[in-house]
Amino acid sequence: DQQVKQNSPSLSVQEGRISILNCDYTNSMFDYFLWYKKYPAEGPTFLISISSIKDKNEDGRFTVFLNKSAKHLSLHIVPSQPGDSAVYFCAASASNFGNEKLTFGTGTRLTIIP
């Protein structure tokens, strides 16, 4: 049973435009959410996180929005750059405490078109 879902396996966006990546979850115990970026043959790197007490968190070009009632989060990248081409994973956890496991989605491959 996939508790964290990324329904779009791929997304193409023109350079300079906004990229919006979506993620849905089913487990109401999830309280903490993260986005990771992964290039081929490398490990995932952390991008941004959000706690359930917030509905928005911003870091430079990256903004994560959380809608708890809909169990939905999204990552906005603006403006999109060629270096943003990668696979993006959302992840969820019951807390940000260290021994809490993260459950990952299936990933969305983002391609930025120059």
Nearer residue to other proteins within complex by CB, 15 or 100:
100
Separation of CA 58 from chain center:
13
Do residues 4 and 58 touch, judged by C-beta distance below 8 A? no
For position 13 contacting other proteins by CB under 8 A, the verdict is no
Asked if residues 23 and 7 have their Cβ atoms less than 8 Å apart, the reply is no
Backbone angles phi, psi at 97, to 5 degrees: -75, 145
Count of residues that interact with other proteins, criterion CB under 8 A = 28
CB of 105 to other proteins, least distance (A): 5
- Window 31-60: contact mask with other proteins (x via CB under 8 A): -x-x------xxxxxx--x-----------
If we measure between CA atoms, which residue out of 35, 52, 36, 48 comes closest to residue 95? Answer: 52
**Region from 10-18, 62-70, 77-85, 97-105 binding other proteins, contact rule CB under 8 A:** 97-105
Q: How far is the CB of 23 from other proteins (least distance, A)?
A: 11
